[in-house]
Amino acid sequence: MTVRPVLSIGHPTLRIVAGEVPADEIASDRIQTLIDDLIETMRHANGAGLAATQINERLRVAVMEVGDNLRYPYKPRIPLTVAINPIIEPLDDELVEVNEGCLSVPLRGNVDRYVNIRVRYLDRNGVEHDEIKRGLTAGTWQHECDHLDGVLFIDRVTNPSTLATWDEFNEFHRDAFVARITAFVERVGS
């Protein structure tokens, strides 16, 4: 496992639509090493997720995991998840406004995310999954899958006045956001 450099906003790879991984290549050393590097890099950076495009790989692979993450104490746990060729389908029109950050963007800002989604993907063993995700977990999936489509969260910010650096967010906005989003998580359960 190798910690890889995370690309920053402005790098062209962050704006490409990643290519699908052929099912017969999932077990290859190349794809398995990529998955291991994604996990190691995400954990090293204390991220909740990481997409292959963020480490300059143009493939539809993302990893997610939330445990005891000091950056996101309000996020429900997500067991280590490897998503290959993920597809997201909103289940209804319910949205929640979430303040998001990104390892590739040195800012945070408010975006609307679907509360209820269906996700279909292959795991690192090529096993098919078809699952329902809700709440902030659904938001994490949407954020990572956006990366695979060349979309950054700042593209979805509708009110630029919500943009802040991590330090400014922590000093001026964090408490109000955490209170609001904690109530939301308690209401929807994830």
Catalytic residues: 144
3-state secondary structure 58-88: CECEEEEEECCCCCCCCCCCEEEEEEEEEEE
Q: 163-178 burial, b for 16+ CB within 10 Å, e for fewer?
A: bbeeeebeeeebeebe
> CA distances (Å), 72 to each of 85, 99, 128, 133, 135, in order?
26, 11, 29, 18, 14
Q: Identify the residue whose tokens are 């906003």.
A: 9
Total length of the chain = 190
Q: Are strands 116-122 and 128-134 parallel, antiparallel or unpaired?
A: antiparallel
> CA distances (Å), 132 to each of 64, 88, 188, in order?
15, 10, 13
Residues 6+ apart with CB under 8 A from 6: 41, 45, 50, 54, 55, 103, 104
